[in-house]
Copies of this chain bind each other. A is one copy, B any other.
Amino acid sequence: MIQPVTPASQQLAIGVDTGGTNSTFGLVDHRGEIKYRGAISTSKYDNVTEYIDALYDAVAPAIDQVGGIKMIHGIGIGAPNGNYYKGTIEYAPNLKWKGIVPLAELITEKFNLPCALTNDANAAAVGEMMYGAAKGMKDFIMITLGTGVGSGIVSNGQLVLGHDGFAGELGHTIIIPNGRRHWGTNMEGSLEAYCSATGVRLTAIELLHKNPDEKSLMRKYPESELDSRIVFECAEQGDKLANEVYQFTGEVLGKAMANFVMFSSPEAVILFGGLCKAGDLILKPTRQHMEHNVLPIFRDKVKLIFSELKEADSAVLGASALVWEIK
Query: A residues near B, CB below 8 A?
Result: 81, 90-91, 137-139, 153, 155-156, 158, 160-170, 172-177, 185, 187, 255, 258-260, 262-267, 293, 295-298, 301
User: How many angstroms between the C-alpha atoms of A160 and B38 in the bound complex?
Assistant: 39
- Cα distance, A45 to B107, chains bound together (Å): 65
- CB-CB under 8 A from A176, the residues of chain B are 177
Q: Which residues of B contact A264 (CB under 8 A)?
A: 153, 160, 162, 167-168, 263
Q: In the complex, A91 Cα to B298 Cα: how many Å?
A: 12
**B166 and A265 contact, CB distance less than 8 A:** yes
Min distance, Cβ A276 to any Cβ of chain B, angstroms = 22
Can you identify 21 A-B contacts, CB atoms within 8 angstroms?
A91-B296, A91-B297, A139-B163, A155-B156, A160-B264, A162-B264, A163-B266, A163-B267, A164-B265, A164-B301, A167-B264, A168-B264, A168-B265, A169-B265, A169-B295, A169-B297, A170-B263, A174-B258, A177-B177, A263-B263, A263-B264
- Chain B residue with Cβ nearest A158: B156
Shortest distance between the CB of A300 and any CB in chain B (Å): 12
Q: Which of B90, B158, B258, B259 contacts A297 (CB 8 A)?
A: B90
Residues of B within 8 Å of A260, CB to CB, are 263
* Distance (whole angstroms) from the CB of A155 to the closest CB of chain B: 5
Bound-complex Cα distance A172 to B259 (A): 8
- Interchain CA distance A15-B265 in the complex, whole Å: 26
Q: Which residue of B lies closest to A188 (CB)?
A: B293
Decide: A298 near B262, CB < 8 A? Known: A156-B161, A177-B255, A293-B187: no
Q: How far is the CA of A301 from the CA of B259 in the complex (A)?
A: 23
The complex places the Cα of A137 from the Cα of B163 at a distance, in Å, of 9
Complex Cα distance, B176 from A176, in Å, reads: 7
CB distance from A291 to the nearest CB of B (A): 12
Contact call B263/A174, Cβ cutoff below 8 A? no
B161 near A265: Cβ-Cβ < 8 Å: yes
Chain B neighbourhood of A167, CB < 8 A:
139, 155, 263-265
Chain B residue nearest to A259 in the complex (CB): B173
Rounded to whole Å, the gap between the CB of A240 and the closest CB of chain B is: 24
Instruction: Provide the residues of chain B in CB contact with A139, threshold 8 Å.
Output: 162-163, 167
- Starting from the known contacts A164-B265, A173-B259, 12 additional A-B residue pairs (CB-CB under 8 Å) come to A153-B263, A156-B158, A156-B161, A160-B263, A160-B265, A163-B265, A166-B297, A166-B298, A169-B298, A172-B295, A175-B177, A263-B264
